[in-house]
Amino acid sequence: MKRLLLIAALTLSACKPEPAGEPVIRTEIGKHSEEPAAAKVQAKAAPSPCAAVIFEEQRLTHCVADPARHSIAMALANEDGTPFRSFKAYGESLGDAAANVAFAMNGGMFDGEGKPVGYYVENGERLRELNRNDGPGNFHMKPNGVFFGSDGKWQIRAADDFYAEVGDRPQFGTQSGPMLLIDGQLHPQITEDGPSRTIRNAVGVDADGKAHFVISEAPVSFGLIARYFRDRLKAPNALYLDGAVSALWNPASDRLDGTAPLGPLIVVTNRQNGAP
């Protein structure tokens, strides 16, 4: 009799629905392959650089890239030029090296084929030039901006400022828009709480040089996510990365968002043996 009750309890537990309000679809890298034991140990041992936060009664996930511990790079396509379009495809392309990913987030707006519409540099190679054209949509809500860096020094600059002041090509760079904060001030076209609501993600760099990546867990306004960077993080400049398709890969918590097809990916890896 006890055995029958135990079986019934396990059956009910397995049928229990997922909690309501989950904003993303989770997928799995290498679902049908056996992950090396060493990779599992490393993934479990590394502390998560991401944490859940509450700001103005909204749930956000905040991930920190520290230049003393992390490196940042862009990823777009595999060796034959086919865009990854997802964290799953990108992660599987890494093989065992996926164990070194601290987290990744979509970063930079793109066209229907997944190719960037603005400035894009990967491993020091410029694949798209700076886009200063006028046009519709969030990308052209000027000023837009560029998130870029080399050798652990990361910056965000408005596009015109980047054009005028940055002469050397960075190791990585991605253009998006609009800027959320410019020298500590909200973008002039962003209201405190406009009517537009969607899941959004953005990046800002603080006075210590750390890069802060934030993604909302429910639809929020431009104003709310901009204020988080201004009021909570004290970041002088912050750049909107995208909305609706916003996604995060956080291996430490087994989070691998599978939403709409993605474009450029910002990948944060753990430094090894002091490597840059």
Query: What is the pLDDT at residue 47?
Result: 78
Question: What is the tally of structural domains in the chain?
Answer: 1
Question: What's the first-to-final CA gap in the chain, in angstroms?
Answer: 62
pLDDT at 169: 97
Domain of 264, in residue numbers: 49-270
**What is the sign of the dihedral through the CA atoms of 157, 138, 204 and 246?**
negative
Q: Using the 8-state DSSP alphabet, how is residue 77 labeled? A: B
Residue 1 counted as domain residue: no
The residue ranges of DSSP E strands in the chain, in sequence order, are 50-55, 58-65, 70-75, 101-106, 120-122, 125-128, 145-150, 153-158, 172-176, 179-182, 185-186, 200-205, 211-216, 237-243, 248-250, 255-256, 265-270
For residue 50, give the nearest of 159, 179, 213 by alpha carbon. 213
- Measured between alpha carbons, how far is 262 from 246 in angstroms, rounded to an integer? 8
85 part of a folded domain? yes
Cα separation, 9 vs 116, whole angstroms: 51
Residue 66: per-residue pLDDT: 98
Report the alpha-carbon distance of residue 269 to residue 23 in Å, rounded: 25
Distance CA 60, CA 218 (A): 8
Q: Is residue 196 part of a domain?
A: yes
Give a yes or no: residue 155 inside a domain: yes
Hey, what amino acid is at 108? G
Token pair, residue 266, equals 């910002």
CA distances from 9 to 13, 18, 84, 254 (A): 6, 17, 42, 26
pLDDT of residue 193: 81
Residue 31: Cβ-neighbour burial (10 angstroms; 0-12, 13-18, 19+): exposed
Instruction: Judge whether 44 lies within some domain.
Output: no
> What is the SS3 assignment for 83?
strand
- Examine residue 13 and state whether it is found in any structural domain, yes or no: no
Q: Do the domain assignments include residue 22?
A: no
Domain contains 213: yes
Helix (H, G, I), strand (E, B) or coil at 161: helix
Per-residue pLDDT of the chain (276 residues; tens, 9 = 90+): 434 343 344 333 333 333 333 444 555 665 434 444 334 434 445 678 999 999 999 999 999 999 999 999 999 999 999 999 999 999 999 999 999 999 999 999 999 999 999 999 999 999 999 999 999 989 999 999 999 999 999 999 999 999 999 999 999 999 999 999 999 999 999 988 878 899 999 999 999 999 999 999 999 999 999 999 999 999 999 999 999 999 999 999 999 998 799 999 999 999 874 444
Residue 157 tokens, joined: 């600059």
